[in-house]
Homo-oligomer: A and B are copies of this chain.
Amino acid sequence: MRPQVKDDVIVKPFAVGWDPKDAIMDDPDNHIERYLSRLTGMFYNKEAAERYLKEHGDTLIYEVYEKEIPQRDGEIQFCSSITHPGEIGGEYFMTKGHFHARRDTAEIYYCIRGRGFMLMEKEDGEYELGEMYPGRTVYVPGYFAHRSINTGNEPLISLAVYPGDAGHNYGSIETSGFKHVVVERDGKPVVIENPRYGNMQT
């Protein structure tokens, strides 16, 4: 769980920086790291993920740096999102993905470095891929779960920005997954249906 600042805090003006090459925030309040050992069930080929873990040891798949902003309407949340390059069973390294707790809230991702896609998917299965490369902004409307997918050879780095009261909901993604997954076929990213959709925890 992310720590939360109290709702009655008044936010003072501030500035925070990072080197655009690595997006490691100078003075973060939170640094969230997600390693493979806790994410094997997220890959559509779970057996391949378990093999990868045994062969390569625990591997950092993605990380996030953020400042703590009160989770309330009117504020703006932002973080650096870093998805490392790699693939498992043909599926690219990616973030777990989430809906917002307040489902109707949007989010933007401004790509600073790397190449990849934002997979956006509604509960009814409607989906869209937003291509990411430096200078590109992807708009994720409300009601779309979203996940960053690194199809390149260097870290995929974005500035993510969303409303103060959006919140995160990982629950249904952890249990059901995304209906679509992005895999490499003949060196190119291709969308396929997730054979484990609705059943990610077995």
Which residues in A have some Cβ–Cβ distance to B below 8 Å? 10-20, 23, 67, 69, 73-76, 78, 102, 104-108, 110, 118, 120, 128, 130-142, 144, 159, 161-164
Contacts and interface: CB of A to CB of B under 8 A. Distances in A.
Contacts of A69: 106, 139
Contact of A104 (B74, B130, B144): B74
A35 B16 CA distance: 31
A106 B74 contact: yes
Given A75-B106, A106-B76, A15 B161 contact: no
A163 B105 CA distance: 10
A188 B20 CA distance: 26
A70 to B, nearest CB: 10
A135 B75 contact: no
Contact of A67 (B13, B20, B128, B139): B139
